Amino acid sequence: DAGVIQSPRHEVTEMGQEVTLRCKPISGHDYLFWYRQTMMRGLELLIYFNNNVPIDDSGMPEDRFSAKMPNASFSTLKIQPSEPRDSAVYFCASSFTYSLSTYEQYFGPGTRLTVT
């Protein structure tokens, strides 16, 4: 398997523009997670899906952020409008959790977002 695939790997945009980040989870995984990583705040969970259904979006910072998972092999994280403070590395991760004792998430390579 190719692992979790994210695109683009780098995104530079101007404040106010819409940004869409994409993720393809590992085939067969039923959980998908979106994280944001910054030096100041570390790795933060934004939202996660189970079987394409959003379960917990309490980490989404504001209404400017939205996420969708239209099918088992694709998810998007959208920021509209983007602001400089959104600059971070955004990770997508997936897992197949059948018991808590083997709770392992597989992370993609991340999208480095810079908003100027």
Partner 1 sequence: QKEVEQDPGPLSVPEGAIVSLNCTYSNSAFQYFMWYRQYSRKGPELLMYTYSSGNKEDGRFTAQVDKSSKYISLFIRDSQPSDSATYLCASLNRDDKIIFGKGTRLHILP
**Binding footprint of partner 1 on the chain (CB under 8 A):** 4, 41-45, 48, 56, 91, 93, 100-101, 103-110
Confirm if 23 and 74 have CB atoms less than 8 A apart: yes
Closer Cβ to partner 1, 65 or 91, answer by number: 91
Judge whether 90 and 36 are in contact, CB under 8 Å. yes
Neighbouring C-alpha atoms within 13 Å toward the C-beta of 112: 4
The 3-state DSSP class for residue 14 equals coil
Whichever of 18 and 103 has its CB closer to partner 1, that residue is 103
Q: How far is the CB of 1 from partner 1 (least distance, A)?
A: 14
Nearer to partner 1, 93 or 113 (CB): 93
- Measured from the CB of residue 38, what is the shortest distance to partner 1 in angstroms? 9
Nearer to partner 1, 9 or 85 (CB): 9
Q: What's the burial of 101, exposed, middle or buried (CB within 10 Å: 0-12/13-18/19+)?
A: exposed
Q: How far is the CB of 62 from partner 1 (least distance, A)?
A: 19
State the minimum distance, in angstroms, from the CB of residue 84 to partner 1. 21
CB 99 within 8 A of CB 38: no
